Amino acid sequence: MRLTQLRLHDFRNYPQVTLMPPAGVTVFVGENGAGKTNLLEAIHLCCLGRSHRTPFDRDMIRLGCKTSAAYSRVQRHVTRDEVGVRLFAQQNLRKTIYVNGKTVPRIGELMGHMTCVMFSPEDMAIVKGAPQVRRSFLDMLLSQCQPAYFYAIQTYHAALKQRNALLKLLAKKRGNPKQLEVWDEQLVRAASPMVRMRREAVLTLSDLAKEHYTFISGREPEVFVLRYQSSLSGSGDPGEMLMDQLAASREDDMRRLTTGFGPHRDDLKLVLSGQEIRGYASQGQMRTAVLAMRLAEINILTQAHRDAPLLLLDDVLSELDEGRRARLLGSLGGMQTLLTATDLETLAGMKPDCVLKVIDGKVFIA
Ligand SMILES: Nc1ncnc2c1ncn2[C@@H]1O[C@H](COP(=O)(O)OP(=O)(O)OP(=O)(O)O)[C@@H](O)[C@H]1O
Ligand SMILES: [Mg+2]
C-alpha cells in the first residue's frame, strides 16, 4: 500500500500542509516539539478514525480553531482511494468521515481503505499498562482486518453503556428490570463474534510474535508467547456462555452497578520463558516483546489485505541497541515507511529515500 498524498488543515500545530511521500523510507527529522509525531498521528487518524495517543479527538484540532481535517490519498494494487476525517471543536458535532469525496455515515466504512502499523513510545503501555490497552491493541488490529469486527465492538459497547445505565436506574427503584434482558441479548449477539475473532487472532499473533521475538533478540532460549484471557475463551459457544454468566451474576451486577462479565473484561497475557512479562522481564526485553507484537501485526494485516500496511515508526530506533535496530530494519524492507527522528545519527546504516525537516508545524525538503 502506498500513501501518495497527506493533506492537513488546522491539525495540531499545522495550519496547512501537503506532503507527497515517495515509496520506500521517509524520515521526518526535527527538534522535540516540532510536529513530527503529529504527522504520523494524522495518518493513523485516516486509517482508523482516531488518534493513537489520545481518546479525545478535540486534542487534534489546532488550538483556537473550530475544525480540523486530515486527508490521505492511497494506492493499493490498481485501486486509488482518498479518505479523510474532519473533526469539530463543538461538543455536539460528530466527526465526519470521507471516502472518495463522499461523506459516509459510519466510521467503520473508513476501515480497510488504508491500513497502518504504528510503532510508538506509548507502546510500552501494552506491556505495563491496564488490560484496556491490550484490548485496544487487539481491537485496532482486528478492526483494520475486518470492518465487521469494528461494528461488533461498537454495538457491544453501546449495549454495555445502556445496560450499566439501567443498573444505576434500577438501584434507584426506577426503570424496568425486564429491559435488562433486551440489553443482555444485544451484548451476547455482539460478544460472540468478538470473542471468536479475538481468540483466533491471539493464536496467530502468538505464533508470529514468538518468531519475531527470537529473531530480534537473537537469543534462542527466550520464548515469548501470548495468551487470550477471557471468561469466555474456553467455550465452543461464547454467546450462550455469556448469556448464562449474565443471568447468574445479575444480582451482583445490580449491587455493583456494573456488568461483571463479558469481553470488556478480556485481557491478553504476555509470557516470556514461562513468566508473566510485566513483573519479570527487563526494559529491553519488554520493548522487544512489543516490537515482536507489532511485527506480527504487520504479517496479519498483510495477509488480510494481500498487501503490506504503511509503517509508522515514531522514535523507536533511538531506543534499541545496534544489533536489534539492524535486525528490525532488516525485517521491514520493501514497505513504505515513515519514521521520525530528532537526529539523523540515530539512523546509522539506513538510507532513507526522502528526508523532510520539520520546524514548528512546517515541513521542508532537507
Ligand atoms: N491542538 C494543538 N494545537 C496547536 N499545537 C499543538 C496542538 N497539540 C499539540 N501541539 C503542538 O505540537 C507540538 C508537538 O508535536 P509532536 O508531538 O509532533 O512533536 P515531535 O516533533 O514529535 O516532538 P518529540 O521529538 O519530542 O517527540 C508541540 O509544540 C505542541 O505544542
Ligand atoms: Mg514525537
The residue among 286, 306, 326 that closes a domain is 306
What angle, 0 to 180 degrees and rounded to 10, lies between the N-to-C axes of helices 131-145 and 283-305? 20
Instruction: State pLDDT tens for residues 213-232.
Output: 999 888 778 999 999 999 88
pLDDT at 218: 81
- The total of other beta-carbon atoms located within 10 Å of residue 343's CB is 10
Q: Are residues 95 and 161 in the same domain?
A: no
Over 80: is that where the pLDDT of 348 sits?
A: no
Q: Are residues 92 and 125 in the same domain?
A: no
Cβ atoms of residues 284 and 321 within 8 Å: yes
Q: Are residues 244 and 364 in the same domain?
A: no
Pick from 38, 59, 122 the residue to mutate for probing ligand 1's pocket: most ligand atoms within 8 Å of its CB: 38
Over 80: is that where the pLDDT of 320 sits?
A: no
Cβ atoms of residues 135 and 262 within 8 Å: no
pLDDT at 334: 83
Residues in contact with ligand 1 (CB, 6 Å cut-off):
12-13, 30, 32-38, 59, 61-63, 315, 340, 342
Mean pLDDT calculated for residue range 13-29: 96
In what helix (H) or strand (E) does residue 40 lie, and over which residues does it extend?
helix 36-48
Pick from 8, 28, 37 the residue to mutate for probing ligand 1's pocket: most ligand atoms within 8 Å of its CB: 37
Residue with the smallest CA separation from ligand 1 atom 13 is 33
Q: Are residues 11 and 67 in the same domain?
A: yes
- pTM for the model stands at 0.92
Structural domain containing residue 338: 1-115+309-366
Question: What spacing in Å lies between the alpha carbon of 35 and ligand 2's midpoint?
Answer: 7
Q: Are residues 279 and 353 in the same domain?
A: no
pLDDT band of residue 209 (cuts 50, 70, 90) is: very high
Over 80: is that where the pLDDT of 188 sits?
A: yes
Q: Are residues 34 and 127 in the same domain?
A: no
CATH number at residue 343: 3.40.50.300
Q: Give the residue from 282, 237, 245 showing the smallest Cα distance to 262.
A: 245
Give the separation between CA 149 and CA 156, rounded to whole angstroms. Answer: 10
Q: Are residues 133 and 274 in the same domain?
A: yes
Q: Are residues 327 and 264 in the same domain?
A: no
Residue with the smallest CA separation from ligand 1 atom 3 is 62
Burial letters for 23-45: b for 16+ Cβ neighbours within 10 Å, e otherwise?
Answer: eebbbbbbeeebbbbbbbbbbbb
Over 90: is that where the pLDDT of 356 sits?
A: yes
pLDDT at 43: 98
pLDDT at 330: 80
Give the separation between CA 241 and CA 53, rounded to whole angstroms. Answer: 34
Q: Are residues 164 and 46 in the same domain?
A: no
Q: How many domains does the chain have?
A: 2
